[in-house]
Amino acid sequence: MLTERLLRQVAFIKEIDKVKYILRKTKLLHSDRCENDAEHSWHLAMMTIVLAEHSNHPIDVFKVLKMVLIHDIVEIDAGDTFIYDAAKSHTNTNEELIAAKRIFGLLPPEQAEEFIEIWKEFEDGFTNEAKFARAMDRFEPLLQNTSNNGGTWVEFDVPYHKVHEKKSAIGLGSATIWDYAERLIDESVEKGILRKDS
């Protein structure tokens, strides 16, 4: 029985290797190489550990770590959705739910259930842990784009108001980090790497 359990866990561990092939639109710092979801998730986990003290509310950091580590695993089946893609909502889609059930379903049932719940909590964004995790998810590409002369903002002609609107979710997790992020956005307009709306 224990072996059967371990075999299911190993099957899942092998399956999620595919996360390393899912490319995001954003690039590494000072680079034109796309970041993949495994690298992205690792970076969010590190940011969570380092920045947790700035959360607006007390949070279970261990739970936030689980969220950011697993949040993109569904993209193995559903693919990455660009945050500024108007045609496809970045929020929880049915396709992603089916993916979550298949991939987390490789695990022993109660682990699968726990992972699906954590993933849903992240997607819903209602709890303090989800708000902070989502703040990290919005903050990292900001650091990337400002280091890459505008990065995806320039590449996909994204204007200031869209960036400001999407990034404002950072403030739901941390007012301190949002204060800093807003300054980075304003500086980007001044530097001409983010287009002010006409």
Give the number of residues in contact with a second copy, rule: CB under 8 A. 42
Closer to a second copy by Cβ: residue 56 or 147? 147
- HSE at residue 43, side-chain half, CA atoms within 13 A, is 19
Where helices occur in the chain by DSSP H, the ranges are: 2-15, 37-51, 61-70, 75-78, 94-104, 109-124, 128-147, 151-155, 160-167, 170-173, 175-191
**Angular region, 150: left φ>0, alpha ψ -120 to 50, beta rest:** left
Please identify which residue in 22, 25, 26, 45 interacts with a second copy, judged by CB under 8 A: 45
Please identify which residue in 36, 92, 93, 127 interacts with a second copy, judged by CB under 8 A: 36
Asked if residue 193 binds a second copy (CB under 8 A), the reply is no
Amino acid letter, residue 100: A
* Span of 57-65, 91-99, 119-127, 154-162 interacting with a second copy by CB under 8 A: 57-65
Distance CA(5)–CA(87), nearest Å, equals 41
Please identify which residue in 25, 26, 47, 173 interacts with a second copy, judged by CB under 8 A: 47
* Span of 32-40, 85-93, 151-159, 164-172 interacting with a second copy by CB under 8 A: 32-40
Distance CA(56)–CA(37), nearest Å, equals 27
Please identify which residue in 127, 147, 154, 182 interacts with a second copy, judged by CB under 8 A: 147
Please identify which residue in 25, 43, 167, 195 interacts with a second copy, judged by CB under 8 A: 43
Please identify which residue in 24, 25, 35, 151 interacts with a second copy, judged by CB under 8 A: 35
Instruction: Give helix 160-167 / helix 175-191 axis angle, nearest 10°.
Output: 170
Distance CA(5)–CA(71), nearest Å, equals 23
Length of the chain: 198
Query: Which positions from 1 through 20 interact with a second copy, judged by CB under 8 A?
Result: 2-3, 6, 9-10, 12-14, 16-17, 19-20
* Span of 29-37, 77-85, 95-103, 186-194 interacting with a second copy by CB under 8 A: 29-37
Closer to a second copy by Cβ: residue 75 or 195? 75
